[in-house]
Structure 1
Amino acid sequence: MVRTVAACGIGVSVLASCGVTQPESTAAFETWCTPTDPGLSELSGLAWTGDTGYAIGDRGSDDRLAVLDRACEVTRWVEVGVETVDVEDMAVDRAGIVWLADTGDNDSDRDSVTLIGVDVRSDRRTSVSLRYPDGAHDVEAFALTPSGQPVLITKVSGGASATIYSSAESVTASSQLIDLARNGTVSATAPDGSSRPITGAAVDADATVGALRTKKDLFVFDIADGDVAAAFSGAPTGVVEGPDQPQGEAVAFTDAGELLLASEADGAADLPAVVLAPFHHS
């Protein structure tokens, strides 16, 4: 990986080392790798563990999961094996199961949404329905706590605060239906005062740092005692302007604490732009 390159351009970019004790308004990004497989042209969800990445497209291309190497080359495709509506995000639990958040709802007509657990090693599938307490919501940002509790953040526009939904019940429990509860709000307000819909969420391997992204900005939060919802409802410890990603949707951490940003496109080419942005924390 190179260490300092201007932000923008197609591919996977890397956010240079950035402390989050004070909010930042700018940061340097660099390209790490560029996924060229046409199956990722609508890339919406990204997760990383060890030297392996997982990526998936959203509606229309979310029937299979891509397994990536560190060069963003697809080493294999795994069929989701469950009918989907609109997968928007993903997370990997501590057992290595990839959880796909089938939570997209542009028409706001889904009172419940689905998490699909894909065990790539055993080829087993688990489906868990999540039911909102107050009707339908469009959600593109999803994360898991260290214990496997789901955390969802609504996608809202017009500067309104997004709602956080979570549950004390783990997705690895035997229940096939989990009732969600409202658990705070988050307002993604950039240093210039603008506010945009939240399109992705991630938690690092130690569950001490979380991240939310919009199509333009990146918000970093300190997590105390594994309480992800409480962290996201508090003030961010760092805010940076992301790379130029018109369709920026995904965010993920590597095990080393590098922060990865992914985009469907960079506005200049048809190739997907997964922007891997290593942000190191200690």
Structure 2
Amino acid sequence: MGLTGGVRVRSVTLAVLLGLLLAAPAAADPVPAPVPACTITDPRLAELSGLVADDQHWYAIDDGGTSAKVWVLGKDCQVQDSITGAVDPYDVEDLARGADGTFWLSDTGDNDEDRDTIALISLTPAGDTALYRLTYPDGKHDAEALLLDRTGVPYVITKTPLGTAGVYRPTGPLASPGPTPLEKVASLRLTSTGTPGGPLPGAVGSVLVTGAATSADGTVIAVRTYTDAYLFPVSDGDIVKALSATPVRVPLPNEPQGEAIAFQPDGSLVSGSETGRDDATQSMNVVAGAAAVAAPKPAPSRTAEPKSASGVSAAPEKKEGLPVIPAVAVTVAVIGAIYLLFRSSRRSRTR
């Protein structure tokens, strides 16, 4: 879903101003560089939006859609099969998988913020489906990211142009068809990074949350933007606490509209992008050992402090967190304008 010519020119102008206004991008943590694994050429996945993985397959969804459909790909990026359920979604944006093998489709896209409810759709490998409607406690939001904790509780993360995404979870067990109320449990604060990629020039794409994933053992979660992935260590299964920690940042490889992210069982991280065109191709990229880099570390011993080479006690190295974007009125206006232009350029969604 590209930008039109007029919108592109206006976006470039605004992005230049934005680059002058935002603080210098934070440095990335040392992680292995992403490596292309294979190339998706199937036009049915031109709008790749959500991804999960097991040892033999990748499971993917296309943005939007008129059915609850998961595509089954080999590790060579070739489509081998599909799993389809009898539900007509509004705008599916992300994919997760429970411990029992059930797929969870995040029908949470709302570019125009006009939906009274969003939904999660469960889809078994046999094609059985159920619809679970949800309501926000504080108005309407666009959201493209879904996490499951290790007990199967879902977390929806919103997509906002100002760098502070809302994190929501159900107030109780999901009801079908519902709706089940959501509660806001956290805010995730992002700032610009300077990593190239995304459909918007400049820094805006690096603060828009477009996908999320949980490692197989539940000890690491990933939240991605168009340009970067952030890896958070999860202790005792506490997603909310994890999102308040300092993450490991992984710059992704200049993806045109990166929205898909997943962990493989071995802890490597996989990312993929929409192409927006039926005749375009896009690489799937793998970051080896990503989960191990970000996994929770043992608590330091209280009986001894780390020593420097000179024998002097050394304070732990201070890492940069994810600061709030400076609350300068003109910056907010520029970011909001760029994002509104991008949203207006996406195709309208109809059931």
Counterparts of 1:35-114 in structure 2, within 5 Å, are: 35-60=40-65, 63-114=68-119
- Greater C-alpha radius of gyration: 2
Q: How many residues in Structure 1 have an aligned counterpart in Structure 2?
A: 256
Conserved? CA contact 2:171–2:183, under 8 Å: no
Choose the corresponding residue for 1:161, options 159, 164, 173. Answer: 164
SS of the residue corresponding to residue 53 of structure 1 reads strand
2:102 & 2:250 partners in 1: Cα distance? Answer: 30
How well do the aligned residues superpose, as a CA RMSD in angstroms?
2.4
Identity level (%): 37
Name the residue aligned to 1:277: 287
Code of the residue aligned with 1:181 in structure 2: it is E
- What's the offset of the Cα at 1:69? 1.5
- What's the offset of the Cα at 1:59? 2.1
1:253 equivalent to 2:253? Answer no
Counterparts of 1:224-243 in structure 2, within 5 Å, are: 224-232=235-243, 234-243=244-253
Unaligned runs of 5+ in 1: 1-21
Conserved? CA contact 2:119–2:134, under 8 Å: yes
Deviates more, 1:257-266 or 1:47-56: 257-266
Conserved? CA contact 2:171–2:180, under 8 Å: no
- What's the offset of the Cα at 1:154? 0.6
- What's the offset of the Cα at 1:275? 2.7
Deviation per residue, 1:34-75 (Å, 9 max, x gap): 122111011111111231221011124765320112212111
How has the CA–CA distance of structure 1 residues 144 and 199 changed in structure 2, closer, same or farther, with 3 Å as cutoff?
Answer: same
Counterparts of 1:216-231 in structure 2, within 5 Å, are: 216-231=227-242
1:81 & 1:273 partners in 2: Cα distance? Answer: 31
Tell me which stretches of 4 or more aligned residues in structure 1 moved more than 4 Å: 60-63, 190-195
- What's the offset of the Cα at 1:237? 2.7
Conserved? CA contact 1:263–1:275, under 8 Å: no
Name the residue aligned to 1:125: 129
Name the residue aligned to 1:264: 274
1:272 & 1:64 partners in 2: Cα distance? Answer: 20
1:109 & 1:265 partners in 2: Cα distance? Answer: 26
Structure 1 length as normaliser, TM-score? 0.83
Code of the residue aligned with 2:186 in structure 1: it is G
Conserved? CA contact 2:266–2:289, under 8 Å: no
1:202 equivalent to 2:213? Answer yes
Structure 2 length as normaliser, TM-score? 0.67
